[in-house]
Chains A and B, each alone.
Chain A
Amino acid sequence: MTAETPAIRPPIAMLAELTHRCPLSCPYCSNPIELALQEREIDTETWKSVFRQAADLGVLQLHLSGGEPASRRDLEELVGAARDAGLYTNLITSGIGLSERRLKALDEAGLDHVQLSLQGTDAAMADEIGGYRGGFDRKMKVAGWIADIGFPLTLNAVLHRRNLHQLPRAIEMAVEMGARRIEVATVQFHGWALKNRDTLMPTREQAREADRIVTEARARLKGTLVIDYVPADYHSDYPKRCMGGWGTTGLNVAPDGKVLPCHAAESIPHLTFDNVRDTPLRDIWYEGSAFQAYRGTEWMSEPCKSCERKTVDFGGCRCQAMAIVGDASATDPVCIKSPHHGALVAQADAHAASVEARLVYRSAPGKPVVEPVD
């Protein structure tokens, strides 16, 4: 560290991917293509230790995710341990695998908040996208139990070309469910979603219409429903400040104990990741090579290096630069200053205009990817 390098601050949030197992097989799953097997998952006691280490390190918010976190039988015990460590506990779930009994046990364990995903606003859409028949009906039951218990709820609507027309109904559903917040998340093209760009890429018109719907709903529902919005990435002029800045705000623990600066970081082949099985979380955060790789601005080249926005968005997403440009230290091609921006725009329009290809569903851990054949 040189004198000009700002001190590394403690992380605020940790995403704990408890498992890659999931009853659904959404074609935009953010899990890596190479899924962790159940026998490689870290055990209950290791997770508990990780939660205590995280709290000692300065983490305030714990997001329990997956895969489907309810696929872990020890979920209730893990929530209790996280609360005991002093963490705010957020369960990110599809609802599948939760019963009224389990939700009551999670309530007793001290669960603070539930984020429920929405694949579509009716059974036909939701079950097709999730690849799980009966999933939507079950989810609606779970939403009812969540409301009965009184958990604060966020509805997380994942949107793409197939279901963007359902956005107004998704917002209505959030209000009907008593959610305080909805995340309107346009699919980000990482992991499995990269395989499905021809099917999922929104059109420019859809992206604009979503902007309009969100702006209108925010004004109309002020004080009733908070709307957090992730706009369509490829149709933007500037990239997102990914992860709040690499190694500044959050960290992600994968099911096998690997610690990642973001959930897609394994797509950057030259990075190596430390594991909570052999290294203290504190050392990984402050000294781990994957976290140091893109911290701050030293690693940047042009056009980022001399850009006035370099500490606004930190050059955007490293994984996207890797996936599109083939260089993780390049400017995110979403940026209008990137020499690859024009190609990305053309690519986005081509994907959006493509004749509907078949969806490539996420597979189960250890199972091969099933590529559709016509």
Chain B
Amino acid sequence: MQPEDVPYLPRGVRVHRDRVRDAWVLLAPERAITLDAIGHAILTELDGERSFGAITEALAAKYNASPDEIAQDSAGFLRALKDRRFLEVR
């Protein structure tokens, strides 16, 4: 994931509040993935307009961490979603 990439959730993939299990989940074609706090924080930042760089900076400010740290923590997660076609990049 490059800083200028714009990641977004494609149609049919959405973040959902699972009220029965009291958790956030990512719903995708025939899959439901439980999100941890970091995963949820990243995915709710995706708006299809801001770049990966801008998102990591926003998260760094919000969680008082360095943008590099955030980028490192989230790149693997986003790449795994992309490989499964749960995330697109423009």
Contacts and interface: CB of A to CB of B under 8 A. Distances in A.
Contacts of B18: 58, 60
A226 B32 CA distance: 16
Interface stretch (B20-28, B40-48, B66-74): B20-28
B83 A223 contact: yes
Interface in B1-36: 10-13, 16, 18, 20-21, 25, 27, 29-32
Contact of B16 (A60, A115, A154, A180): A60
Q: What 3 A-B pairs have minimum CB-CB distances, sorted nearest first? A: A152-B12, A58-B20, A180-B85
A28 interface: no
B83 A222 contact: yes
Nearest to A57: B20
Interface string A65-85: 000000000000000000000
A90 B16 contact: no
B11 A152 contact: yes
A223 B84 CA distance: 6
B29 A90 contact: yes
Given A60-B16, A60-B32, A150-B11, 5 more contacts: A10-B21, A56-B20, A86-B16, A112-B29, A113-B30
A113 B85 contact: no
Nearest to B84: A226
Contact of A113 (B12, B20, B82): B12
Nearest to B19: A86
A154 B29 contact: yes
A180 B29 contact: yes
14 contacts: A12-B32, A58-B18, A58-B20, A60-B25, A60-B32, A61-B31, A113-B29, A115-B29, A151-B11, A152-B11, A154-B30, A181-B30, A223-B85, A225-B85
Dominant SS among interface residues on chain A: loop
B11 A88 contact: no
Contacts of B13: 152
A225 B84 CA distance: 8
A152 B10 contact: yes
Interface in A126-157: 150-152, 154
Chain B residues touching A, range: 10 to 19
Interface string B63-90: 0000000000000000000111100000
A58 B21 CA distance: 7
A61 B27 contact: yes
Contact of B20 (A10, A151, A181, A223): A10
A88 B33 CA distance: 13
Interface in A218-277: 222-226
A181 B85 contact: yes
Q: A12, A88, A90, A226 — which one has the most chain B CB atoms within 10 A of its CB?
A: A88
Contacts of B21: 10, 58
B11 to A, nearest CB: 6
Given A57-B20, A58-B20, A60-B16, A90 B85 contact: no
Given A10-B21, A113-B12, A151-B12, A61 B82 contact: no
Contacts of B82: 223
Contact of B30 (A61, A86, A150): A61
Contacts of B10: 152, 180
A154 B28 CA distance: 12
A109 to B, nearest CB: 14
Contacts of A154: 29-30
A56 B19 CA distance: 9
A130 B21 CA distance: 41
A61 B31 CA distance: 8
Given A222-B83, A223-B82, A61 B20 contact: no
Nearest to B13: A152
A14 B22 CA distance: 20
B85 A60 contact: no
A56 B18 CA distance: 10
Contacts of B30: 61, 63, 90, 113, 115, 154, 181
A34 B30 CA distance: 28
